[in-house]
Structure 1
Amino acid sequence: MNDVTTDRPIIAFDSGIGGLTVLREARVLMPERRFVYIADDAGFPYGDWEESALRARIVDLFGGFIAEHDPAIAIIACNTASTLVLEDLRKAYPAVPFVGTVPAIKPAAERTSSGLVTVLATPGTVKRAYTRDLIQSFATKCHVRLVGSQNLARLAEAHIRGDPINDDAIRAEIAPCFYEKDGQRTDIVVLACTHYPFLANVFRRLAPWPVDWLDPAEAIARRALSLIKPNGSGAEPEHGDDIAIFTSGNPDFSTRRLMQGFGLDTSVIA
């Protein structure tokens, strides 16, 4: 894939607000860039979709996004979407580089001391052949447990919007991540959903023992940066506001407020 040298915006796409964890890191690395954050809240949660219908939906949506925004690059800041439809997007829109979000199994396998690694994901990501292929490619010397949570993405969305969440509900979702084998304990939990890092401090507080909660957001941002050369002379250019777009066209007040807190212009969804 060729490097991209352009002043066109970067799209960051997610099913909801979880992709803000990736956007945050991308902005740190690329402060001169303009971002268009797109949340497919009309389709949220993706775990409830039949695969072929979700694949068709995302590919179709991107036709409109690309036509309207002419992005330099698109970051699919969603594990479920990436493991399902990333290759379809690349085939459908070959002029646009796509950076996906896949479970950080390789770095987890490289870092673990105990050899016991958990991948905490959505049920869709857990069942994908893509995820199991990553384990076969990079973690055959580890014992990898796949934990598919049905509820954590919703709980993370509620938490980041400031709604109260129940500790017992969180504890029940993460409990299967922790196990012991041959005198060793889980020491790394891969956060394989971009919503989950918003709950990382809650996870640390409720965990039965300390582990490394592996967030791939920075690595995703670095991959995007590697595909984009610096603008012009290196001086920081002026650009328009970063914007947030919701496919429902009608996010609630707390979500609008959250987007504004991230410096995203929500007037386009008014």
Structure 2
Amino acid sequence: MSDGPILIFDSGVGGLTVLREARVLMPDRRFVFVADDAGFPYGDWEEDALTRRLVELFGRLIAAHGPIACVIACNTASTLALDALRAAYPQMLFVGTVPAIKPAAERTRSGLVSVLATPGTVRRQYTQDLIDQWATRCRVKLVGSVALAALAERYMRGGFVDEEAVLTEIAPCFVEEDGRRTDIVVLACTHYPFLVNRMRKMAPWPVDWLDPAEAIARQAERVVSTLGTRSISGDFDPAFFTGGEPDFATRRIVHGFGLRTR
């Protein structure tokens, strides 16, 4: 029986949405949350440099925390570096995050789907391959948002966001064509669900916003289901930030998710 934790990793606090769902599905598991805030935002990185950073960083994280599995709760990191991580650490179980294009294609009635993501995720061949595999009968619009992840981070820390700035980022998702309208927007970044209520408010018409968190957590549950269980302890699960001790607002956020920063 393994008593190692499940490591949930993101560039910022967006991965907390995945942690929340994972705890519901796996209440008998321990978790470690790691945010690479020193590298945030990943969209500013050159791809080879970011891949090298992630491979080196996970070597240290695996050695430090002894996880039974690592959940990459970040579309950019997953679509870029998941294969490199699996090659570098073949004994480790990795669960990645990919845009929910398949379920969007299955649910859409209008045939117009938008994928709201970081520019890096939009550029990946992996994303185009998902469209070619699962959504050939749909028109999929890829929308690369430069600012939305940072807006979500600021909203989580300060409780305020410029709604007009949110509208500017999501407006390209809404397409009208031959009497049809976009009816599904895939949230292809784990930060975005924190802003979904503001997105609903500012949207020009109602759509189904696909949150990836539950699907990621379910895949993690499937992956670790054969590895044994561990009774939950009374202590808080830890959160670590690569940039050092987080500020007060960030500590408040992670404490609200039942994590400790020391």
TM-score, normalised relative to structure 2: 0.97
Cα drift, residue 235 of structure 1: 8.2
Alignment of 1:64-213 (within 5 A): 64-213=60-209
Which residue does 2:233 correspond to in 1? 238
Q: 2:215 aligns with which of 201, 216, 219?
A: 219
Which residue does 2:32 correspond to in 1? 36
Aligned equivalents of 2:192, 2:225: Cα separation in 1:
30
Count of aligned pairs: 262
When residues 50 and 183 of structure 1 are mapped into structure 2, their CA distance, relative to the original with a 3 A threshold, is same
Aligned equivalents of 2:165, 2:171: Cα separation in 1:
10
Q: Give CA-to-partner distance per residue, 1:13-58, whole Å, 9 cap, x none.
A: 0000010111110011011111100000000000000000000000
Contact 1:34/1:239 (<8 A) preserved: no
Stretches of structure 2 that go unaligned for 5 or more consecutive residues are: none
AA aligned opposite 2:212: P
Which residue does 2:246 correspond to in 1? 251
AA aligned opposite 1:242: D
Cα drift, residue 161 of structure 1: 1.4
Identity of paired residues, percent? 66
When residues 145 and 231 of structure 1 are mapped into structure 2, their CA distance, relative to the original with a 3 A threshold, is closer
Structure 2 residue 260 is matched with structure 1 residue 265: yes
Alpha-carbon RMSD across the aligned residues, in angstroms, is: 1.4
SS of 2:142's equivalent in the other structure is strand
Aligned equivalents of 1:70, 1:239: Cα separation in 2:
20
Q: Give CA-to-partner distance per residue, 1:169-211, whole Å, 9 cap, x none.
A: 1111100000111110000000000000000111111100000
SS of 1:31's equivalent in the other structure is coil
Aligned equivalents of 2:240, 2:234: Cα separation in 1:
18
Aligned equivalents of 1:51, 1:64: Cα separation in 2:
20
Aligned equivalents of 2:32, 2:68: Cα separation in 1:
11
SS of 2:80's equivalent in the other structure is helix
Contact 2:10/2:74 (<8 A) preserved: yes
Which residue does 2:17 correspond to in 1? 21
Cα drift, residue 114 of structure 1: 0.2
Stretches of structure 1 that go unaligned for 5 or more consecutive residues are: none
Cα drift, residue 167 of structure 1: 1.0
When residues 77 and 183 of structure 1 are mapped into structure 2, their CA distance, relative to the original with a 3 A threshold, is same
Contact 2:75/2:99 (<8 A) preserved: yes
Cα drift, residue 240 of structure 1: 4.4
Runs of 4 or more off by more than 6 Å in structure 1?
A: none
AA aligned opposite 1:238: S
AA aligned opposite 2:178: D
Cα drift, residue 253 of structure 1: 1.1
SS of 1:42's equivalent in the other structure is coil
Aligned equivalents of 2:120, 2:189: Cα separation in 1:
10
Contact 1:161/1:255 (<8 A) preserved: yes
Contact 2:27/2:232 (<8 A) preserved: no
SS of 2:12's equivalent in the other structure is coil
SS of 2:143's equivalent in the other structure is strand
